[in-house]
């Protein structure tokens, strides 16, 4: 009977070979498809059950994962949650990811290509891949100053390092606590999320780069002035028409100045003087002389209309595509359909303070492996050269005069060369305006560009002006950065 047994034994070999085959299919050949299947909750849990790397600011983790004893294995925690929420975003089981948790997910999760060597090591040693860390450019004291300065008001404040493009502060209020949304109780998370969505103050927005965008108000005059200087036909001392009331062409509308005051007794004034006192009629007539195409081209050289990731996606700022002449006049002073992000205005100031060179704004300084070894450093790159060094220097001097003897007196800092520009974006009769202040502060070592906006006049309400409401915040941020 041995011959038959050999055949039956051979049959069992065939049966086992079939099993080897199917197991190879399931675990190797078809495994990628199974892993990618949307039904596969294992991958979902696995993505949370990881020692996700921290987000680091000034040597401290502002987002980190700690081991917990539940289905997910790790809990994401946020030290000083509301302060950094616009930057970190949240990492939630039911809501997904936002902010840097989203844009830097690969490195935090440990799957980024920059962690290739670490991953090879993990494969050999069999250890669970650990997430990498992300170190931010944020200056903790500046961030704190911006957030505290905004306080209970709605608004945003952002600061850029003029020479590197590093984002030193990025505060947006009201904020929220990402820890609440990162909790593992999905019912409670959903409730908290619904409440945040229903809040009319929109706490989930990062107002520095997104949200509804703002009318820039008089801060746009910097762009109009830059456009004028760049034509070569204007310099800071060029005389501009500055009537107390400007009849806008092709319409019956009449433009006045703030408080209906005359800008000048003579009816003309220099470009520098017009900027210093923020004369509407002078800049509106300048805008009419230049035309909307020149204004738009200058705005686009500063970054208007262009997509930018810092790596958080920035909503492009808008100069109206096809304004008629009265609309062009209004656009030249930052009204009508101009819409900007505070980051965009900070970029304008940064280019002016940086001799016409605009460095690419960025939030991530380094990416690090789980051992905190640097695996990638964000290089300093030039995004654009929106104006010539000469124009930039002239304009910077004009901004200094705004602080020294114009509308921006409140932001002067002893020992620092400070230039600024106020803005008060009208939103209609009886409505409190949005108050702007953009500025740069320069010492021998460092230069910082700041943009601050406070919605609806902030605490001052209808009485709010850019210099009074937003100015002190800009000054506090610059002082924190320059350590004055």
Partner 1 sequence: MATVAPYPARPGRGAELGLLALALGTSIYAFAQVSLAMTGELTTDFKRFAIGYPALALVVHVLLRLRAAYADPVILPVAVLLNGTGLAMIYRLALRYQVSQPEFGQIFSRQLIWTALGVVAAVCVLGFLRDHRTLRRFTYTTMLLGLAGLVLPLVPGIGVEQGGARIWIRLGQMSFQPAEISKILLTIFFAGYLVTRRETLALAGPKFLGLRLPRPRDLGPIMGAWLASLAVLIFEKDLGTSLLFFGLFVAILYIATDRPSWIAIGLLLFSGGVVVAWRLFAHLQTRVDTWLDPFADYYESGYQLSNGLFGLASGGLMGTGWGKGRPDLTSLAFSDFIVDSLGEELGLTGLFAILICFLLLVQRGMRAAMGVRDGFGTLLASGLAFAIALQVFVVVGGVTRLIPLTGLTTPFLAAGGSSLVANWMIVALLLRVSDGARRPPPATHEIDVAGLMAAEEGSQAA
Other Cβ atoms less than 10 A from the Cβ of 101: the count is: 25
Give 71 or 195: the residue with its C-beta nearer to partner 1: 71
**CB-side exposure of 377: number of CA atoms within 13 Å?**
6
Contact 310, 316 (CB under 8 A): no
Angstrom CA distances, 242 to 1, 60, 262, 275, 394, stand at 117, 53, 8, 12, 21
Position 28 contacts partner 1 (CB under 8 A): yes
**Which residues lie below 8 Å from residue 452, measured CB to CB, with a gap of 6+?**
146, 149, 150, 155, 156, 157, 158, 342, 436, 437, 438, 470, 471, 473, 474, 477
Which alpha helices (H) appear in 303-428, and where do they start and end? 325-332, 342-353, 389-405
Among 37, 113, 373, 483, binds partner 1 (CB under 8 A): 37
Position 59 contacts partner 1 (CB under 8 A): no
Q: How far is the CB of 44 from partner 1 (least distance, A)?
A: 10
Contact 139, 168 (CB under 8 A): yes
Long-range contacts of 333-336 (CB under 8 A, 24+ apart): 333/217, 333/218, 333/220, 333/221, 333/224, 333/280, 333/283, 333/284, 333/287, 334/215, 334/216, 334/217, 334/218, 334/219, 334/220, 334/221, 334/423, 334/425, 335/215, 335/217, 335/425, 335/426
Give 71 or 113: the residue with its C-beta nearer to partner 1: 71
Give 26 or 188: the residue with its C-beta nearer to partner 1: 26
- Pick the stretch among 20-28, 53-61, 129-137, 384-392 that binds partner 1 (CB under 8 A): 20-28
Position 125 contacts partner 1 (CB under 8 A): no
Give 73 or 472: the residue with its C-beta nearer to partner 1: 73
Among 94, 128, 251, 405, binds partner 1 (CB under 8 A): 128
Contact 229, 391 (CB under 8 A): yes
Q: How far is the CB of 368 from partner 1 (least distance, A)?
A: 24
Q: How far is the CB of 25 from partner 1 (least distance, A)?
A: 8
Q: How far is the CB of 72 from partner 1 (least distance, A)?
A: 11
- Which residue is catalytic, options 92, 112, 218, 391? 218
Among 60, 71, 199, 247, binds partner 1 (CB under 8 A): 71
DSSP string, 459-472: GGGGG--IIIIIHH
- Pick the stretch among 37-45, 86-94, 156-164, 355-363 that binds partner 1 (CB under 8 A): 37-45
Contact 437, 327 (CB under 8 A): no
Give 19 or 462: the residue with its C-beta nearer to partner 1: 19
Give 9 or 197: the residue with its C-beta nearer to partner 1: 9
Please say if 112 is a catalytic residue. Answer: no
Give 27 or 261: the residue with its C-beta nearer to partner 1: 27
Q: How far is the CB of 112 from partner 1 (least distance, A)?
A: 20
Position 19 contacts partner 1 (CB under 8 A): yes
Q: How far is the CB of 204 from partner 1 (least distance, A)?
A: 32
Which alpha helices (H) appear in 25-98, and where do they start and end? 31-36, 41-48, 81-88
Distance CA 54, CA 134 (A): 6
Other Cβ atoms less than 10 A from the Cβ of 23: the count is: 10
- Pick the stretch among 31-39, 104-112, 267-275, 396-404 that binds partner 1 (CB under 8 A): 31-39
Q: How far is the CB of 8 from partner 1 (least distance, A)?
A: 6
Helix (H, G, I), strand (E, B) or coil at 158: strand
Among 59, 66, 69, 415, binds partner 1 (CB under 8 A): 69
Position 252 contacts partner 1 (CB under 8 A): no
Position 185 contacts partner 1 (CB under 8 A): no
Mind telling me the catalytic residues?
218
Q: Which residues bind partner 1 (CB under 8 A)?
A: 1-6, 8-9, 12-13, 15-16, 18-24, 26-28, 30-32, 34-35, 37, 39-43, 45-46, 49, 69, 71, 126, 128
């Amino acid at each position: 009977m041995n011959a038959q047994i050999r055949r039956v034994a051979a049959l069992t070999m065939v049966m086992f070979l079939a099993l080897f085959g199917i197991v190879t299919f399931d675990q190797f050949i078809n495994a990628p498809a199974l892993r990618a299947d949307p039904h596969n909750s294992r991958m979902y849990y696995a993505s949370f059950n990881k020692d996700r790397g921290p987000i680091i600011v000034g040597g401290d983790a502002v987002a980190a994962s700690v081991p917990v004893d539940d289905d997910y294995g790790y809990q994401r925690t946020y030290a000083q949650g509301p302060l950094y929420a616009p930057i970190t975003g949240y990492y939630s089981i039911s809501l997904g990811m936002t902010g840097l948790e989203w844009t830097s997910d690969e490195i935090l999760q440990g799957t980024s290509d920059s962690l290739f060597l670490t991953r090879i090591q993990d494969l050999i040693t069999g250890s669970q891949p650990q997430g990498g860390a992300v170190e931010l450019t944020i200056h903790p004291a500046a961030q704190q100053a911006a957030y505290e300065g905004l306080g209970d008001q709605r608004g945003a404040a952002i600061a850029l390092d003029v020479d590197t493009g590093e984002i030193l502060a990025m505060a947006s209020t009201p904020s929220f606590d990402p820890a609440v949304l990162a909790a593992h109780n999905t019912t409670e998370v959903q409730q908290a999320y619904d409440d945040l969505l229903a809040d009319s103050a929109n706490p989930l927005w990062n107002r520095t780069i997104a949200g509804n965008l703002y009318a820039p108000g008089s801060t746009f005059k910097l762009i109009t002035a830059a456009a004028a200087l760049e034509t070569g036909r204007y310099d800071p001392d060029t005389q501009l028409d500055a009537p107390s009331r400007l009849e806008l062409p092709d319409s019956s509308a009449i433009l006045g100045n703030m408080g209906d005051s005359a800008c000048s007794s003579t009816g003309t004034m220099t470009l520098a003087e017009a900027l210093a006192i923020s004369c509407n009629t002078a800049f509106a007539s300048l805008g009419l002389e230049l035309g909307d195409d020149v204004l738009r081209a200058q705005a686009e050289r500063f970054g208007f209309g262009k997509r930018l990731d810092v790596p958080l996606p920035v909503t492009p700022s808008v100069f109206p595509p096809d304004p008629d002449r009265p609309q062009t006049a209004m656009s030249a002073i930052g009204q009508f359909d101009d819409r900007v992000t505070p980051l965009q205005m900070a970029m304008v100031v940064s280019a002016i303070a940086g001799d016409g060179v605009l460095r690419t704004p960025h939030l991530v300084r380094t990416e690090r492996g789980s051992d905190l070894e640097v695996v990638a450093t964000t290089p300093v790159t030039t995004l654009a050269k929106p104006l010539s060094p000469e124009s930039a220097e002239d304009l910077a001097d004009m901004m200094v005069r705004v602080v020294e003897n114009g509308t921006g007196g409140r932001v002067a800092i002893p020992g620092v060369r400070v230039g600024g520009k106020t803005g008060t974006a009208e939103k209609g009769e009886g409505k409190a305006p949005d108050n702007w202040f953009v500025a740069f502060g320069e010492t021998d070592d460092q230069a910082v560009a700041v943009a601050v906006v406070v919605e609806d006049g902030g605490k001052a309400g209808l009485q709010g002006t850019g210099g009074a409401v937003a100015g002190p915040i800009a000054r506090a941020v610059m002082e924190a950065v320059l350590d004055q």
